[in-house]
């Protein structure tokens, strides 16, 4: 579950575009907002030849196939979709024009967090469609004192479908929230978040759904986990309440199927949960982490550096918490970074180059160490 991006999305349209920079003045005489569109910012020294894959809409959580030829991603507000569904696209041809990519989810309920399974002919994803074919109700901030909250839908379960959209298997059957699955580079394990223990904890299972094991055990929301390149460690975000007030607020919200992800830090542990280490202490929201191909660094999204915490950029940090470095510089939103299997490319989502709209799109860049 990675709902932060939903604040920035509207519609989805595929096309092909190369790097460019544009400046648009909206009614400059009247002093209206000046919109500066950039595919790439000068400070982004680790990114080269950025290409925009989608144009307009709600596009996020794009993850590479094992062979680096495809991306599976989440989209909504287009093609008569009521809410997020999962699609597969070719990552290399970039020739999508206005065609609708292949949907692999059911088109019912709400989906999130997809990932390719070994062989690249199947994907794992989370969906609420068995609970209700309609989209679940999105909670309103005004009903919760204006606080930013995420829904933890108890009807989320984890499913497997092939890349043609044929539904093959349901992997989870426990009561409550089961979502956020990602797959080990070794191809043997899936890590996911579940409320089956009464709290939002990390679990692992074999790719066929067997041998479920609990990884984390401390009160708080542990989620968005990814494996290290060698499959031995996990990186994840966590919001762990400490004070009596924080604990009460967390438990009260969770009882309503909600969490408040405004304060999250990053943790690393072994796949069995041992050697748990907190690697950030930045404050605010630090999330969407992914290992650098060398396994010694982590790239992630954060708003800790924004005075009003009103925008997200990608940063990188060593796994021992040292050498924090800013990677992207869009003014509004950069998130969901994922390195290609060979480590040469980075895919991410951004609000850049959107004419001042709320559109969030997918971008691919060559990575420069």
Q: Report CA-CA distances (Å) from 310 to 32, 40, 178, 316.
A: 21, 20, 29, 19
Q: Give the tens place of pLDDT for each residue, 280-308.
A: 999 999 999 999 999 999 999 999 998 87
Whole-number average pLDDT of the chain: 89
Asked if pLDDT for residue 355 goes beyond 90, the answer is no
More confident residue, 233 or 354: 233
What is the rounded CA–CA span in Å between residue 316 and residue 301?
9
d(CA 367, CA 369): 7
CATH number of 3-367: 2.120.10.30
Q: SS in 3 state form for the chain?
A: CCHHHHHHCCCCCEEEECCCEEEEECCHHHCCCEEEEECCCCCCCCEEEEEEEECCCEEEEEEECCCCCEEEEEEECCCCCCCCEEEEEECCCCCCCCCCCEECCCCCCCEEEEEECCCCCEEEEEECCCCCCCCCCCCCHHHHCCCCCEECCCCCEEEEEECCCCEEEECCCCCCCEEEEEECCCCCEEEEEECCCCCCEEEEEECCCCCCEECCCCCCEEEEEEECCCCCEEEEEEECCCCHHHHHHHHHHHHCCEECCCCEEEEEEECCCCCCEECCCCCCEEEEEEECCCCCEEEEEECCCCCCCCCEEEEEEECCCCCCEECCCCCCEEEEEEECCCCCEEEEEECCCCCCCCCEEEEEEEECC
User: Could you count the other beta carbons within 10 Å of the beta carbon of residue 260?
Assistant: 19
State mean pLDDT over 169-173. Answer: 97
Q: Does residue 72 surpass a pLDDT of 90?
A: yes
Residues 3-32: tens digit of each pLDDT = 444 433 322 222 223 333 343 434 333 344
What's residue 98's pLDDT? 62
Rounded Cα–Cα distance for residues 214 and 229 (Å): 21
Segment 149-162 mean pLDDT: 97
Residue 95 is predicted with a pLDDT of 53
pLDDT of res. 232: 98
Name the pLDDT band for 337 (thresholds 50, 70, 90): very high
Mean pLDDT for 128-151 is 91
Report the pLDDT averaged over residues 101-115: 96
Q: Where are the domains of the chain?
A: 3-367
State pTM to two decimals.
Answer: 0.90
Query: What pLDDT sits at residue 63?
Result: 98
Per-residue pLDDT, 26: 41
Are 234 and 227 contacting, i.e. CB atoms less than 8 angstroms apart? yes
Tokens of 296: 């010694």
Separation CA 52–CA 61 (nearest Å): 15
Question: pLDDT > 90: what percent of the chain?
Answer: 77
β 122-127/233-239 pair status: unpaired
Residue 356 pLDDT: 85
> Half-sphere exposure of 278 toward its Cβ, with a 13 Å CA cutoff?
12
Predicted confidence (pLDDT) per residue in 74-98, tens digit? 998 777 888 999 999 999 755 555 6
Give pLDDT, residue 205: 98
CA distance 40 to 169: 41
When mean pLDDT is compared across 79-93, 227-241, 319-333, the lowest value belongs to 79-93
Q: What is the mean pLDDT of residues 134-161?
A: 92
Largest CA-CA distance found in the chain, in angstroms, rounded: 66
């Amino acid at each position: 579950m990675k709902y932060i991006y939903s604040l920035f999305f509207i519609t989805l349209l595929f096309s092909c575009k190369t790097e460019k920079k544009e400046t648009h003045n909206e009614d400059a005489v009247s002093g209206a907002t000046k919109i500066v569109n950039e595919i790439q910012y000068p400070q982004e020294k680790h990114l080269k030849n950025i290409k925009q894959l989608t144009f307009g809409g709600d596009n996020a959580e794009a993850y590479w196939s094992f062979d680096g030829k495809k991306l599976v991603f989440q989209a909504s507000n287009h093609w008569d979709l009521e809410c997020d569904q999962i699609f597969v696209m070719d990552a290399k041809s970039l020739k999508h024009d206005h065609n609708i990519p292949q949907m692999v989810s059911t088109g019912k309920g709400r989906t999130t967090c997809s990932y390719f399974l070994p062989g690249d002919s199947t994907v794992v994803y989370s969906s609420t469609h068995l609970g209700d074919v309609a989209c679940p109700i999105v909670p309103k901030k005004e009903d919760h004192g204006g606080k930013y909250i995420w829904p933890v839908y108890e009807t989320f379960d984890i499913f497997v479908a092939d890349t043609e959209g044929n539904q093959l298997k349901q992997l989870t059957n426990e009561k409550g929230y089961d979502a956020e699955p990602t797959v080990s580079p070794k191809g043997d394990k899936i890590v996911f978040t579940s409320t089956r223990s009464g709290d939002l904890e990390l679990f692992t299972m074999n790719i066929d759904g067997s041998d479920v094991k609990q990884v984390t055990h401390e009160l708080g929301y542990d989620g968005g986990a990814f494996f290290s390149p060698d499959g031995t460690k996990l990186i994840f975000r966590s919001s762990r309440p400490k004070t009596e007030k924080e604990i009460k607020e967390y438990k009260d919200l969770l009882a309503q199927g909600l969490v408040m992800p405004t304060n999250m830090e990053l943790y690393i542990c072994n796949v069995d949960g041992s050697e748990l280490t907190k690697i950030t202490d930045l404050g605010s929201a630090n999330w969407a982490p992914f290992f650098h191909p060398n396994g010694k660094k982590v790239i992630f999204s954060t708003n800790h550096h924004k005075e009003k915490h009103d925008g997200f950029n990608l940063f990188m940090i060593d796994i021992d918490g040292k050498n924090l470095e800013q990677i992207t510089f869009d003014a509004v939103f950069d998130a969901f970074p994922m390195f290609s299997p060979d480590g040469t490319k980075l895919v991410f989502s951004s609000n850049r180059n959107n004419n001042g709209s709320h559109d969030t799109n997918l971008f691919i860049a060559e990575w420069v160490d």
